[in-house]
Amino acid sequence: MADYKWPAAENRSLIGKRISRLDGPLKSSGRAKYSFDVNRPGMLYGKMILSPYAHAKVTKIDTTAAEKMPGVKAVTLIWEVGKEVQWAGQEIAAVAAETEDQARDAARAIKVEYEVLPHLVTDATPQQAGADHSKQLSEQKTGDPDPAFAQAAATIEGTYGSPVITHCCLESHGQVTEWQGDQLTVWASTQAVSNLAGEYAPAMEIPAGNVHIITPVMGGGFGSKFNSDVWGFACARLSKKSGRAVKMLLERDHELMVAGARPSIYAKVKVAAKADGTLVAWKSESWGTAGPGSAGNPTLPYVFRPENRSSRHTAISTNIGPARAWRAPNHPQMALITMSALEDLAAAVPMDPLDFFLKNIELTGTLAKVYKEELLKAAELMDWKKKWHPRGQMVAGPIQRGLGLSLHTWGGGGHQSNCNCTIHPDGSVEVSLGSQDLGTGARTVIGIVAAETLGLPLEAVKVNIGDNHYPASGASGGSTTVGGVSSSTRRAANNALNELLAKVAPSLGGDAEQLEAVGGVIRVKGDTSKFLPWKQACAKLASTPITAAGQTSKDLISSGVGGVQMAEVSVDMETGVVRVEKMVAAQDCGLVINLKTAESQVYGAFIMGITYALHEEKIMDQQTGRCLNADMEFYKLAGLGDIGELVVHMMTGPGYDDRGVIGLGEPPVISPGAVISNAVANAIGVRVPTLPITPSKVLAALESKGAKA
């Protein structure tokens, strides 16, 4: 009988290989249909009127003029008179009209009056923000740092930080909604296909079974697209009122203002080591903003746990759009603060940071062995020992080079997933589950697992996802998708195969336990002369297909990975321009299902990391309370010229594969900010304390260094 366990390395025909994505041709040719591409008969367009104030009480809303404008078919209120808006861009009302221009004009015609209230929109320390905006979330202490500091041979103090950045999804948030009687269909850009019906149903006062969610493809979410959101409900209400389908996807400025942001974190750090580089003490005071509420509580120091440490974190409440999970929530900020401080300490010892990290590797706990292997592998790929030089050791000319490194960790355990596998009498195979593919290759992973299990080529399996009518599967967040869907698919395909083997066994003169599916045939184990081609075997089903279910199984997955990254940068000392010359990653994620997709995840994380390290910042104006760069001209992202050589090494083989499948979406995006910051410090001899590392910040750091000298 088929075995649920993952096949041994020598028996894998698809798993672990480099396989192109199933949806690649559709996307590269423009034939893939995103929510924006859905155009229903008689469809209307929805637009919203937004608050121009960061903090204000709504005193009056008048939609009369908008309702009378040409093409307008429905108007709905989102906000209530008497309630306070908490950020510029908060949604007040929505309209649906025959054209986008008509809808936009009608939204502008809605008259809203406000009582403007005081606001805070910029990053501020707890002292600057004051008690009304500050809330201490935690204070932790292990051991006694003060005596350890007193006895240390090297101590440094520094301030490090990362600003608020946005998710900046290629496909903006939104949906198309359509009613047929009391049945609601939503073509949504979502990370949670199976979950949204449970949100729309109570809001629309219909049973969840009456809500159909469809997301065949979507253009990125990074943690910001789990919910229906106010615009989803508004769109559905407009559709209900008008009796027609309505399309409403966010304008880019609105997307950047309110549809998701990664919180800022800043910290004052004091850290110390013995003369031999042994890390002995850590003390930090951190703060940051998540908009109007808290977005998690960072744990400092990150990865390394010295015996004597203390930390305190304060959340600053501000009047900006609320934070949402952003690919490894809190981890990139914690890595930047910790790894920057540790490299500064290594420079003070003085010591090569690679040797410093190896010296203290046992302080990383259960992943120490993994980190050591990854550090050595990354160093080999970077040629670290040949290229590294003591901090600030200059060469002739304006261009200086430097290296930096960082460690990171993540969980990545699989979510709860259900899958149905159907084997048809004609030999065709379908696997169906209510998952979504965010553009990360989940559809292909599902196909690989099913095909491997059934002994078929990948093209022989049809993968059905992106629809809540399929068996429920968890939301795509926390790097849980690959574990959940690969596990449920493996079990469903095995269960279906077991039923087929039982049907075929009499024809091969043996028991089902003696049969296996390999290379497109069903055969007797150990006797290659006794077999049936796959289609001939499936014909034994007569006219009744087999459909078997599978659920997430913890014996097929695991959690807890480590990763190491290194960066080489060049810095123009005259202009302050930083260029990333090379980045290296050594990353584990348990059993790799598709090596090409896994490497692609890391490449994408590198590009995302270079972007937030060198360019990204949500710039708020304290005077007006508005975002100053809510567009793609001034909200800077990395271009091709910013990307140097990218080298990815996935840690596979014994000790890694046998852990089962672990998610990879989050881990590789954690360290880029830290490694680039460290490399810049190594190159120019002084720390640029906060991201993004812009030319003006580099020149300011050099000026400060010159003044101190």
Q: State the 10-residue block means of pLDDT for the chain, 709 residues long.
A: 85 97 95 97 98 98 98 98 98 98 98 98 95 92 97 98 96 98 98 98 98 97 97 98 98 96 97 98 96 86 98 96 95 98 98 98 98 98 98 95 98 97 98 96 98 98 98 97 98 98 94 95 93 97 96 97 98 98 98 98 98 98 97 95 96 96 98 98 98 98 81
What does DSSP say about strands 429-432 and 461-464: parallel, antiparallel, or unpaired? parallel
pLDDT at residue 2, rounded to an integer: 58
Cα-based angle 474, 291, 129 (whole degrees, multiple of 5): 150
Alpha-carbon span 219 to 28, nearest angstrom:
13
Class of the CATH-defined domain 329-412+558-708: alpha beta
Domain 9-14+415-556 belongs to what topology?
A: Aldehyde Oxidoreductase; domain 4 (3.30.365)
Asked if CATH classification 3.90.1170.50 holds for the domain at 35-117+172-218+225-258, the reply, yes or no, is yes
What's the Rg (C-alpha) of the chain? Answer: 28
Alpha-carbon span 345 to 356, nearest angstrom:
9
HSE toward the beta carbon, residue 559, CA cutoff 13 A: 14
User: What tokens does 268 get?
Assistant: 């004052």
Alpha-carbon span 342 to 273, nearest angstrom:
10
The continuous run of DSSP H or E covering 484 comes out as: helix 481-504
For 264-386, where are the E strands, in sequence order?
265-273, 279-289, 308-316
Q: Which residues pair with 95 in a beta bridge?
A: 47, 75
User: What tokens does 349 get?
Assistant: 């010892």
pLDDT at residue 106, rounded to an integer: 98
pLDDT at residue 458, rounded to an integer: 98
Longest dimension (CA), the chain: 88
Alpha-carbon span 308 to 147, nearest angstrom:
9
The continuous run of DSSP H or E covering 187 comes out as: strand 183-188
Query: Which CA distances in Å does 558 have to 438, 483, 602?
Result: 22, 8, 20
Task: Give φ, ψ of 284 to 5 degrees.
Answer: -145, 145
Every domain of the chain and the residues it spans: 9-14+415-556, 35-117+172-218+225-258, 329-412+558-708
Domains 35-117+172-218+225-258 and 329-412+558-708 share a fold: no
For the residues of 82-141, what is the DSSP string, one character each? TPEE-STT-EEEEEEESSHHHHHHHHHH-EEEEEE-----S---HHHH-TTTEEEEEEEE
DSSP single-letter state for residue 426: T
Sheet strand arrangement including 578-588: 399-410, 561-572, 578-588, 645-651
For residue 577, count other CB atoms closer than 10 A to its CB: 15
